[in-house]
Amino acid sequence: MLATIVVLLLIAILLGVPVAVAMLGASVMAIISLDIPMNVLAQRVSSGVESFPLLAIPLFMLAGAIMNKSGISERLFDFCRSLVGHVRGGLAHVNVLSSVLMAGISGSSLADCAATTRVMVPQMERHGYDRGFSVALTASSATLSPIIPPSILMIVYGWQANISIGDLFLAGILPGLLIAAVITSLIVWISIRKQYPKDEAFSRHRAMRTFRQSLWALLMPLLIIVGFRLGVFTVTEIAAIAVVYSFFVGKFVYRTLSWKDLVELLPQTGREAASILFIIAASAPLAWSFSILQAPQEMVTFVTGLTNSPWVTLLLLNVALLVIGMFMETIAVIIVLVPILVPLLQAMDISLVHFGIIMLVNLLIGQITPPLGVLMFVSCDIAKLKTVAFIRSAVPFFFALLAALVVITYVPWFSLALVG
């Protein structure tokens, strides 16, 4: 019965059935087959979102939306350009550095990809960069957003795995910087080979001016990290502070945020957060059904029958997640798989924090690959680039991200060095 439910769930998702609806349908099948009263479904759905940490999701989304509406993207781009624009392939390096800084504000790969594509790709084209390269780079560097805190995906994973979200936030910093370094190394090689141009010469005065203009935005990720490291705030409290801080900066410091903007952002953020929380609510009865059907135990038995090596297990999970990430929405994969995988990871003595970073990197690589690469489609739509041209240009970045994934997987230090 378990296999039937899993297969039908995957088929429904691949056919385009909304993820939440597909999970509810699978839950109904499981409950009927187990001869359990149907009112349990409603109880599980309501209890699925009765979690204080989940309040951080809409709050972080609102904070990121306010900061972006306040024109923070342009200020960060100018600051990054003043720092690295003078080297060979300068605007490409600006693209990556700005993604690193933007990641510390929004936590959304889609939001950062859209903002960076609109601003950076036209500028790169005007300076002689190939459009396919520019768009592929932008989509690839946008994968940093859910790795460098704050991250909505980390909140979902931490809630599902029942581990500290603060630890996950800290664990994502070094892997995020590693990915940025790998992409930057690739840019150096491509820029030299294609003789991409340099920007204007470095100016200390310009760097200081743009730093002062973007300082308030740069303080936001610092506030988040310090708050967690000192144990002063919970993730929900930090998210609430981030909203107040972003509103203060946009309204009273930059003075680019109006009350009308806020009125528009609130329902928009509410709709986006509701779609995520609906999926989380729908996942609760499914996870409960899987536990009744002993799906975690079946997974442990199956994998340990193949190997007892944590290294080989991580290799198998990486391959599986890369393939699944190409066909399923990221949050859906986390919600469906994490409760099943946790007992296996514990049996193999694999850190749940470390695996959380591995899982996110795997699934984010899937966001730039067909057939369901959301970052690919968003960036191509904004830049008016054909998907075939994107895929051709994205191949080097795909292998660069794979190289970073291998290091993150087999060198746990990157994920665990900052975790207390």
Contact partners, residue 305, CB within 8 Å, separation at least 6: none
CB contact at 8 A, 368 and 399 = no
- Find the domain containing 285 and state its range: 2-416
Which pLDDT belongs to residue 396?
Answer: 95
Residue 371: its H or E element: none
- Sequence letter at residue 242: A
**Listed residue (169, 173, 153, 168) closest to 101, CA to CA:** 173
- In DSSP notation, 372-415 reads S-HHHHHHHHHHT--HHHHHHHHHHHHHHHHHHHHHHHH-THHH
d(CA 143, CA 344): 27
Q: What is the pLDDT along the chain (420 residues), one digit of tens a residue?
A: 677 777 777 777 767 777 778 888 888 888 888 778 777 777 877 776 777 777 888 888 888 788 778 877 778 888 888 888 888 888 899 889 888 887 777 667 777 787 788 878 888 888 889 999 999 999 999 899 889 888 888 988 998 898 988 899 899 999 999 999 999 999 999 998 888 888 777 888 888 998 888 888 888 877 777 776 666 777 788 888 888 988 888 888 888 888 888 888 888 888 878 887 887 788 778 777 777 777 767 777 777 788 889 999 999 999 988 888 887 778 878 888 888 889 999 989 999 999 999 999 999 998 888 877 888 888 888 888 888 899 999 999 999 999 999 999 999 999 999 886
Give 162's Cβ-side CA count (13 Å radius).
Answer: 6
Q: How many independent structural domains does the chain possess?
A: 1
For 285, half-sphere exposure in the C-beta direction (CA atoms, 13 angstrom radius) is: 28
Q: What token pair was written down for 196?
A: 């991409």
The residue type at 348: M
- Per-residue confidence (pLDDT) for residue 76, from 0 to 100: 81
CA distances from 13 to 8, 10, 21, 23, 299 (A): 9, 5, 9, 9, 21
Q: What is the pLDDT at residue 417?
A: 93
- Answer whether 111's CB lies under 8 Å from 68's CB: yes
